Amino acid sequence: MGLIDNQLMYSDSQVLTTTGAVSTNYVDHGAVRNLGAGDRMYVFLTFGAVVSNATLTATLQGTVSDNTFAAPLALTTGKTITPVAQTFYAFPIAAHVPCRYTRVNLVMAGGTGPSITASCTLVRDTEVHLADMIY
């Protein structure tokens, strides 16, 4: 994979428990933003250790002005997947998302945890060809 901007990293080897978790970081897109204008953007997920048969659903959440995400908006939801270790997944973000702050909510079902380590970042479509699965 190409270079990853640390400011676009939602999680880095985050351990997920039986119910999942929100990403350890959020991305601040600044006061002037139009996420998805120009190059198509994707949330890129990779998994380290996977020791359960859990399924996972990732949702990009956003908020216009509150980085505490008191009332997050569900912006884009990927399909439910069964994560495989060392596999790259990507799901597209809807164009023209007007949110200043975004994070990823990772929801697990049917597994025993802690069972999955996940890393996710925001990438342009020029990097998405590296994904094993686009969903």
Please, are residues 116 and 54 in contact by the beta-carbon 8 Å criterion? yes
What are φ and ψ of residue 121, in 5° steps?
Answer: -145, 165
What is the set of domains in the chain, with CATH numbers? Answer: 6-134 (2.60.120.1110)
Please, are residues 48 and 117 in contact by the beta-carbon 8 Å criterion? yes
* pTM of the complete model beyond 0.85: no
pLDDT tens for 6-25 read: 667 888 888 877 777 898 88
At 93, the pLDDT band (50, 70, 90 cuts) reads: confident
Within 10 A of 125 (CB to CB), how many other CB atoms are there? 13
pLDDT tens for 103-130 read: 999 888 876 554 566 677 777 767 666 6
Within 10 A of 24 (CB to CB), how many other CB atoms are there? 16
Pick from 111, 116, 114, 104: nearest CA to 22: 104
